[in-house]
A and B are shown apart, each in its own frame.
Chain A
C-alpha cells in the first residue's frame, strides 16, 4: 500500500508539473507534497473515469507490483527533470494566478492546507473564465468555500485529527447542520459548477452517474493523499469508500482509454512537451503492447489526463454541459413570485371613492341639467378591468372625471367614416379620374450592363464635378450687363488671341520663308536654273504668299477685336453716364506701349516694300504665265482660222464648180467668215494679258497695311479688363433697376444630373449672384452598373417655389483614361430659347434690344451661358481607376451605338447571325490583331468568304452536338438504340420487351422481323388466313381502328386520377358511418358467418401461377339423354313402347363437364342423369401473355374458357363379348353434348360470374334426345319448347384482381372531343351519376363513344333501318317469320367483344353501316341493328341496357307486341318472354329509343318483375323531361342501309375450303391413329345441313337419325352439327377441336364431316359443320 501510494504520488507530481507548465494555476512551490497532491485531486475531479481506473488499479492489482516499480522509478526520474523546469515556470505564472491562492494559503494551515489546496485545484482547467470566477469567489472571503468535497474532507479530517481552522469551523458548523444531505450532495454534486452554484440551496439529489463518479474518485484521491499524514491509508480509504456506489461499469474504462490514446497521439503530434515526456510516453506505449490494457490504463491514465488539460479543445461537450434535473419550484412559491410580477386587474367595480380625489363627492353633470352625451356601450367587465388597471398606475386618478367615470368623449365613434368613400361603379367615376393602364416601359439601357459589373471589383464610378456656371446672357441682364458680357467675351477673345499669338507666329514664319527664298534666288542667280530649283522656288513663293495672306487676316482680326473692345467699352461708359449708375464692376484700361518711331517706321516701310516686291514678282510671274498662255491660245486660234478658210474654199469649189471667180470667192469668204463665225463656234480670239500695275499695287498694299496694322510710331494699345469698378448701391438706382436687382436676388439655380436619362442626383440650389455667376462646386460620385450612355446636366432656375428648366447640357462620357484629378474642368455652353420679358430694367430673353438711340441695329439675345463641369472616372482606394476596361469602351465616340460587348450590343440571339456579328465587328472597330478576337475574326472571315454560308435560321441548341453521344446516323443504324426507342414508343411488339441486349452485336435481326413485317404488311391483305378477301379487309380495318384507339388509350392512360394511385375509403354517408359505428359496438357472432369482401389484388405484384381461375360447376339441367341404339328401324318405336321400363332400366346419360382454358383441361367427375349435380370446383392456372400482369395486358387477354359437357360412354369391346365375366374390355368414349364459352375478359371485368348458362347444344345430337322418355309434365312441356340445356356455374378469379379502370371514364377525363352540346353532356353526366347513386348495380348509359372516339348521345343510334329486302320478301305474309329471320341474320354477324378488340373496357359503338361493313361487333351493335330493324318492321322496340349472363353489362332489345313484352338476345337471335325465368337478362337498367332514355327506378330490376310501361314516371325516370326537352338530336345512323347481294359462289368456295381444312386438322389431331372418312356418311350429312339452315336449327333430329340409321345400320353413330357465324377459320377449328370428336381412339372408328356455308346478304355467312363418329358394331 505504501509503495503504491508512493508511486501514485510520483505520478501525480508529474502530472502536476506538466500542468504547471501548461496551465496557469500555480501551487505553492515550497510544498512539494502539496503540489503533488493538488493536481491529482484536480485531475480526478475533472476526469473521473480514468482516475477511477487508477484507483482501482492501485487497489486491486497487487500482482503488477514489479511493473509498477519500474514505472515508478521512471516516473521519479522524470519528475526530477521536470521539477527543474517547473520551478522556473512557476515563477512566471505565479504573478498572474497566485493571488487568490496565496490568500487562501494564509488562511489555511497545516494539513488542512492540503485539503484546501485540493479544493482550489478542483478548479477545472477550462480556461480563464473559470479562473475568473474562482478568483472572485475567493476574494469574497465572506463566501464560504463550501465546495462539498472540501467540506467533506475537512470534516473527515477534523474528525480524524480533531484539528480545526477558523474558516473551516464556520463551514463545519454548516455542514454539521445537515450531514446526510451533504453526503448526498457530495456524491452527486458536480464539482465544476460548484462555485457558481453555492449561493443556491437547491441542489438536492443529482443522480447523474458521471458526476457522482467524479466526486467519488476525488475522494479516493483525497484519501490517498491523506495517507501521507494519516496513520494508515487503509483506514482513510475505507472511510471514504465504503459507503459509496458500486464500481463504475468497465466499459467506461474502455472509452476513456481510447480517448487517451488519441490524445496521446495528438500530443505527440504537437510535440509541445519536453523530451522526457515524450520518452515516458513512448515507454508507456511500448508497455501497452505487452501489458494488460486495463492495467496500462489505470497506470497511465493520469498522465494522459494531463494532456487533456493541455488541450482544452479536446473537451467533449459533455465536459461543459451540465446535466441536472429540472428545477422544481413549489407552487406556493411560484404563486408568490408571480404575484410580485404579475398584476391581474380585478373584475369588480371600483368604488367611486377610489377614483376621485379624497374628500370629493362625485358630481354628475347630468343631474345639473347639462347635456351629457350617451357613451358607447362597453361591457361592464371591460370597463371595470380598465378602471382597475388605470388605478394601478401612478396618477391614475387623473383619468377619471368628476363623476368618477373615465373621461371620454361623449361619443368617440364618428358618425361617418373618415375614409373617403370607395367608388365601386366605374361609371360613377369622373372620367378624368379614371385610371388608365399603361404598360410599364422598360428602360432601353436597363439591360446594357457593363460586362463584369456583377463581380465586386467591377463597380465603376463616374465622378461628376459641377463647379458652376456663368451666364453670358440672362433675362435679368440689364443693358449694361449685356454690354459688359460682350466686353468680357471680347476681352476673353483678345486674351486668348494674345495667348496664342498667331500673328507673331505667322510673321516669323513669313520672315523665315522670305530668307530661304532669297537664298535660293541667290543660288539660282549664280548657278543658273535647274528645273528642281525652279520648282522649289515657285513652291516657296507660293508658300510665302499663303502665309502672308494668313498673317494679314490674323492681323486684321486682332485689329478689329481691339477696336470692338474699345468700342464696347466706350458704349458701356456712355451707358453708365446715361443711366447714372453702374451695374457691372468692369473697367477697361488701355495700356500704351510707346515704340521707337524711327525703327518702327523703318520696319513698316520695309515690310511694305517687301510685300510690294513680292506682289510684283508674283504678278510678274502671273503675267508671264498668262502671256504664254495667250500666245499658245493665239496660235491655236490662228491654226483654226486657217483651217476654216481652207474648208470654205473647198465648199465653194464644190458649190459653184470651177467657173467661179477668185474675187468673188474672196468676198464671199469674208462674208461667210463673218456670218459663219458664231455658227462654227471657233475659239474667240484671245486677248493679250494686261501688264500688272506696280504702282497701284503699292497703293493697295499701303492701304491694307494702314487698315490692319498699327501705324508706324503709334503706341501699342494693350487692353486690360478689371472687375475693380464699384457698383452703384441699390438705393441710388432708379426703381426699375431696384426691381431688377431684387428679381435677381430671388432667383436661384440648381442642376439635375441625369444619367442614362434617369435623374441620379441634383445640386443644391444656389442663388443667382448679381454678376450672374453661380458656384456649385459639388462632386457627385455615381456608382454605375449600366453602360454610360448619356450624362445630362439640366439647369433649373427657381423663382420662389416654381422652377423651370433653363437648359440642358449633354456631357460626353469620358474616356477611361480620364480619371478624377487629372481631368480639367471644361466649359459647356448652353442656351435656351425661352422668351422672357420684364417690366423692369432686365432686358429679357428673346426680346429685341437696341443700344442705339434711334432703335436701329436691334439685336435679340437668348439666355445662354457656360456650365463648367468635369466628368471623369473615379479612382478607387488603391488609386485604381474605377473605369471599365478599355476594350469594353466605345471606340472613342460618344454618340451612336454602344458597342461595349458583342453580346450586349446585338443580344445573345444575334450571336448566331453572322451579319450582325460582322456589323458589330466593323462598328466596334475590332482589333483584328488582338488574340482575344481571333475566333470572331476567323468566323467573320469564313462567313464573308462565302465558303460557309452562315445559316439564316435560328440556332436554338447550338450546343446540341455536344450532348449527342453518337451521331444521328449511328443512332439510326444501331439496332440496340432502335430497340430501345421502339420500346419507349410502346410499339406493340416491344411494349414489354425485356433485356434489350447490352451490346450491339447481340441484337439479332430477328427481333425486328415481326415489327418490320407488320409495317410492310400494312397494305397487303393476307387472304389465306381469312378465306375471304372481304373479311381480310375488315380485319385490317379493325386492326387500324384498334391501333388508333390504343394509341388514344395509351395517351389516356397517362392521365392519372387519385383513385389510380391511392385506394381510399369512399366518403361514407352518415348512415353508413352510423352503421359502422354501431358495428363496432356489436357483439361478435361467430355462428353467423358473414360474407367477407375478398381483398383485391393489384395486378402488378403478380407473377405466373399466382392467378387461378376458379370454376364451380354446380349442376346442369335438361341434358340430352341417350337414345337406345337400334339396328332396326322399328326399334325406336319398340323402345317407345317399352316406355317407362326402359327409362328406369337404362342409363340415360352420364355427363361430365370438361373445362379447358389456356391449354389446361380439367374435368369433373361423372354424374348420372339428365339433371346432374356435380358441385365441384375446378382450378385452372392462369398466365398472362408475356408475363405482363398489368391491367391493360389482362384486359386484352383473348383466351376463352371452354366448358364442354360430355357424355361418358362405356363400351365393352374385345373378344369376350359373350364370355362376360372372364375378360371385359371397356372402352370409354366421350360424346360431346354441348358447350359454353366464356371469355376471360368477361370474368376479369366482372370478377365473378354466377348463374345458369344456356349450353350451346347442337341442333341435332345423333344418338341423343332431349325428350325424356315417359315424362310429360308441364315443366317438360315447357322446356321442350325452349329446348335449352342449362349449366349452373360460378366463375371467379382467385385472387380477385382489380378490374381495369374503365377507360371510358378516363376518356371523359381526357376530354375526348364531342359534338354534343355541352349542356347535354352535363345533363347526361348528372343523370348517370344520380342513377349510379340510386342503384349502383343497374347500368345506365346515356352517352357512348363512337368509333372515332367522340362522345355521342345514345339516342342518336336508334333509327328505323331497312333489313335486307330478301328477308322481307321471303315471308310477305308472316311478319313473325320475318322477325325471326332478321334476328337470325343479326345473330350471324360475329361477335367480337370490344374489350378484346380495344384492350380496355371501352365501349365503342359503331353505327349500323359500320357494323355491317366490319361484320364484327359487340352486343350493343347487334342490339342496335336489331332494334333498328324491328323499328323498321313497325314494332315498338327499345334497347335494354342491363346486365345479363354471361356478358355482364350488355344491351338487349325489348319489343312490345300484343302477346306482351319480349326480350331479344341480339347475339344469339333468341327471344324470351318477359316472364321467362331462363332469360339471361338479369337486371334492367334503362330503356332507350330514338326519343328518350328511361332509367329503371323500380324496386326489383329483374325483367320478370319489371313493369315496362315507360309512361309511369314513378317507375321509369326519363332523361328528357319537361324541364329538359329533347333538343332534336339527329341520328348518326344512315338513312338507309345498302346491302351487297348474296354471293353464292364465294360461299361454295369457302365451304370447300373449310371442309378441307377441317379434315386436315382432324387428321392432324390424331397423329397416331388412322383417320378414316366415311364418304357415304359425309354426303348424307351434307344433305342434312341445308335443311338445318332452313329450319334455323329447329328440331329436325328425329328425321335425321332415322334416315341415318337406315343408311348406316351397322354403325354406332355419335354426331352433331355445329353452327357458327363465320368470321375466321380459327374459331371453327377451335369449336371442332373442343368437341373432342377426334379423341375417339377405338380402332374401327370412322369419321364423317360435312360443311355447309349458307350465304346471307352483305356477306354474312352461316357455317354448319356436321361431325360424326361412326363405330362399326
Chain B
C-alpha cells in the first residue's frame, strides 16, 4: 500500500515573551492540542521555558523560546492549537499558575504574531481564594489542554491575567495539492511591512 497522502504543516517560531504586569519570574509551558487526524512528525511537542524576570527598564518578560514542530495531517479538522500556560512563584514562593491561553496555529503560510490573552480559573469561594493564596494552591485546570476545547468550559469562571506573545513562521506542504486553499499567502506579512515603512 502506498504511503497515505498527507499534508504537512511546519511551525517555526518562538514564544517571544509575555506581559504580566503584576508578576515576575515566570516560566511558560507549552503543548499542542490537535485532532485525531494529526500527528507531529518532528519537533518538540511540549516544552518548558526558562524562568525570566523583568528588567528595570522593560516590563516585558522575554523568553524567546523556540518552537519547532512539524505536523502531518489528513484532515484540517482539529487543526493544531498551541496551548501555553505560565507559572511563577507567588508571594510565598509557591509555584502557582499565572495564566492559561491557547491559539490556533495560523493557517496561512508566512509570518504571524499572536498575542494570546491569558487567564486563570477563579476559586469557587472567597475563602478558597484566601486559602489558595495563603497556601499557594490556586485552582488549576486538570489539564492545560482544557483551554483548547470548548466543551465544559461553561462551568468555569476565569480571570484574565496578561498576554503572551508568540510569533509563528508557518510553512505548509501539499495543502493546495490536497484541495485545501489556505487563502492569500501572507497578507499579514505584507501589512506588517507596510506598517514598518510608515513608521
Q: A residues engaging B (CB < 8 A)?
A: 980, 983, 992-999, 1002, 1004, 1054, 1056-1058, 1060-1065, 1067-1068, 1073, 1076-1077, 1098, 1100-1101, 1298
A1067 pairs with B125, CB closer than 8 A? yes
**Which residues of B are found within 8 Å of A1101, using beta-carbon distances?**
31, 143
Which of B1, B134, B140 is within 8 Å of A1062, CB to CB?
B140
A61 to B153, CA, bound (A): 68
A1002 pairs with B5, CB closer than 8 A? yes
**Which residues of A are found within 8 Å of B5, using beta-carbon distances?**
997-999, 1002
**Which residues of A are found within 8 Å of B191, using beta-carbon distances?**
none
**Which residues of A are found within 8 Å of B140, using beta-carbon distances?**
1062-1064
A996 to B142, CA, bound (A): 29
A1062 pairs with B121, CB closer than 8 A? yes
Q: Output the nearest chain A residue to B179 by Cβ-Cβ distance.
A: A998
**Which residues of A are found within 8 Å of B124, using beta-carbon distances?**
1058, 1064, 1067
A1073 to B125, CA, bound (A): 15
How does the 8 Å CB contact mask read for B153-175 relative to A, with 1 for contact and 0 for none? 11110000000000000000000
Which of A994, A1002, A1065 is within 8 Å of B131, CB to CB?
A1065
A1063 to B156, CA, bound (A): 11
A998 pairs with B74, CB closer than 8 A? yes
Known: A980-B75, A997-B5, A1054-B151. A1060 touches B142 (CB 8 A): yes
Which of A994, A1054, A1063, A1098 is within 8 Å of B37, CB to CB?
A994
A1063 pairs with B139, CB closer than 8 A? yes
Give 6 new A-B contacts, CB below 8 A, not counting A1056-B154, A1062-B139. Answer: A998-B178, A1002-B4, A1058-B155, A1063-B142, A1064-B139, A1076-B135
B131 pairs with A1061, CB closer than 8 A? no
**Which residues of A are found within 8 Å of B39, using beta-carbon distances?**
994-995
How does the 8 Å CB contact mask read for B1-24 relative to A, with 1 for contact and 0 for none? 100111100000000000000000
A1061 pairs with B155, CB closer than 8 A? yes
Instruction: For chain B, residues 24 to 52, give those with C-beta under 8 angstroms from any C-beta of chain A.
Output: 31, 36-37, 39
B187 at the interface (CB under 8 A from A): no
A1101 to B144, CA, bound (A): 10
B135 pairs with A1061, CB closer than 8 A? no
B37 pairs with A1065, CB closer than 8 A? no
A997 pairs with B36, CB closer than 8 A? no
A1056 pairs with B155, CB closer than 8 A? yes
A1004 to B37, CA, bound (A): 16
- Cβ of A1358 to closest chain B Cβ, rounded Å: 38
Known: A994-B36, A1002-B4, A1067-B127. A1062 touches B142 (CB 8 A): yes
Known: A995-B4, A998-B6, A1065-B132. A1060 touches B139 (CB 8 A): no
A999 to B5, CA, bound (A): 7
A994 to B145, CA, bound (A): 19
Number of A-B contacts (CB under 8 A): 98
- The 7 tightest CB contacts between A and B, nearest first, are A1056-B152, A998-B74, A1064-B139, A1062-B121, A1058-B155, A1062-B139, A1065-B137
Q: List 24 A-B contacts (CB under 8 A).
A: A980-B77, A994-B37, A995-B6, A995-B36, A995-B39, A999-B4, A999-B5, A999-B178, A1002-B4, A1054-B151, A1056-B154, A1056-B155, A1058-B124, A1058-B156, A1061-B142, A1062-B141, A1063-B141, A1063-B142, A1064-B123, A1064-B124, A1067-B127, A1067-B131, A1073-B131, A1298-B142
- Cβ of B160 to closest chain A Cβ, rounded Å: 16
B146 at the interface (CB under 8 A from A): yes
A1032 to B37, CA, bound (A): 37
B128 at the interface (CB under 8 A from A): yes
B156 pairs with A997, CB closer than 8 A? no
**Which residues of A are found within 8 Å of B152, using beta-carbon distances?**
1054, 1056, 1060-1061
A1267 to B37, CA, bound (A): 62
A983 to B151, CA, bound (A): 17
Q: Which of A992, A1057, A1064, A1077 has the most chain B CB atoms closer than 10 A to its own CB?
A: A1064
- Cβ of A43 to closest chain B Cβ, rounded Å: 24
* Chain B interface, DSSP helix/strand/loop, else mixed: loop
- Cβ of A1561 to closest chain B Cβ, rounded Å: 34
A1068 to B125, CA, bound (A): 11
How does the 8 Å CB contact mask read for B53-95 relative to A, with 1 for contact and 0 for none? 0000000000000000000001101000000000000000000
A1076 to B145, CA, bound (A): 31
**Which residues of B are found within 8 Å of A1056, using beta-carbon distances?**
151-155
**Which residues of B are found within 8 Å of A1004, using beta-carbon distances?**
1
A1073 to B36, CA, bound (A): 44
B143 pairs with A1098, CB closer than 8 A? yes
Which of B37, B131, B143 is within 8 Å of A1068, CB to CB?
B131
Q: Output the nearest chain A residue to B137 by Cβ-Cβ distance.
A: A1065
A1065 pairs with B145, CB closer than 8 A? no
B37 pairs with A1100, CB closer than 8 A? no
B74 pairs with A1098, CB closer than 8 A? no
**Which residues of A are found within 8 Å of B123, using beta-carbon distances?**
1064
Q: Output the nearest chain A residue to B46 by Cβ-Cβ distance.
A: A1101
**Which residues of B are found within 8 Å of A995, using beta-carbon distances?**
4, 6, 36-37, 39, 74
**Which residues of A are found within 8 Å of B6, using beta-carbon distances?**
995, 998
A1063 to B97, CA, bound (A): 12
- Cβ of B25 to closest chain A Cβ, rounded Å: 21
Q: Output the nearest chain A residue to B131 by Cβ-Cβ distance.
A: A1068
- Cβ of B163 to closest chain A Cβ, rounded Å: 22
A1062 pairs with B74, CB closer than 8 A? no
A1298 to B141, CA, bound (A): 13
B7 pairs with A1100, CB closer than 8 A? no
- Cβ of B12 to closest chain A Cβ, rounded Å: 24
A983 pairs with B127, CB closer than 8 A? no
**Which residues of B are found within 8 Å of A998, using beta-carbon distances?**
4-7, 74-75, 178
A994 to B35, CA, bound (A): 9
B36 pairs with A1100, CB closer than 8 A? no
**Which residues of B are found within 8 Å of A983, using beta-carbon distances?**
36
A997 to B6, CA, bound (A): 8
A997 to B128, CA, bound (A): 48
A1061 pairs with B127, CB closer than 8 A? no
A1068 to B129, CA, bound (A): 11
**Which residues of A are found within 8 Å of B155, using beta-carbon distances?**
1056-1058, 1060-1061
A1061 to B142, CA, bound (A): 5
**Which residues of B are found within 8 Å of A1057, using beta-carbon distances?**
155
B128 pairs with A1065, CB closer than 8 A? yes
Which of B1, B36, B75, B156 is within 8 Å of A1061, CB to CB?
B156
B36 pairs with A996, CB closer than 8 A? yes
**Which residues of B are found within 8 Å of A1054, using beta-carbon distances?**
151-152
A1067 pairs with B36, CB closer than 8 A? no
- Cβ of A1058 to closest chain B Cβ, rounded Å: 5
Q: Which of A992, A1002, A1057, A1065 has the most chain B CB atoms closer than 10 A to its own CB?
A: A1065
**Which residues of A are found within 8 Å of B178, using beta-carbon distances?**
998-999
**Which residues of A are found within 8 Å of B7, using beta-carbon distances?**
998
Q: Output the nearest chain B residue to A1057 by Cβ-Cβ distance.
A: B155
A1061 to B153, CA, bound (A): 8
**Which residues of B are found within 8 Å of A1063, using beta-carbon distances?**
139-142
A1076 to B136, CA, bound (A): 12
A995 to B151, CA, bound (A): 22
**Which residues of B are found within 8 Å of A1100, using beta-carbon distances?**
143, 145
- Cβ of B192 to closest chain A Cβ, rounded Å: 18
Known: A1058-B124, A1061-B146, A1067-B125. A996 touches B154 (CB 8 A): no
Which of B128, B134, B151 is within 8 Å of A1064, CB to CB?
B128
- Cβ of A794 to closest chain B Cβ, rounded Å: 57
B128 pairs with A1067, CB closer than 8 A? yes
Q: Output the nearest chain B residue to A1096 by Cβ-Cβ distance.
A: B142
A1067 to B135, CA, bound (A): 12
Instruction: For chain B, residues 111 to 126, give those with C-beta under 8 angstroms from any C-beta of chain A.
Output: 121, 123-125
Q: Output the nearest chain B residue to A1059 by Cβ-Cβ distance.
A: B142
A997 pairs with B127, CB closer than 8 A? no
- Cβ of B91 to closest chain A Cβ, rounded Å: 13
A1276 to B39, CA, bound (A): 61
**Which residues of B are found within 8 Å of A1067, using beta-carbon distances?**
124-125, 127-128, 131
Known: A994-B37, A997-B4. A1065 touches B135 (CB 8 A): yes
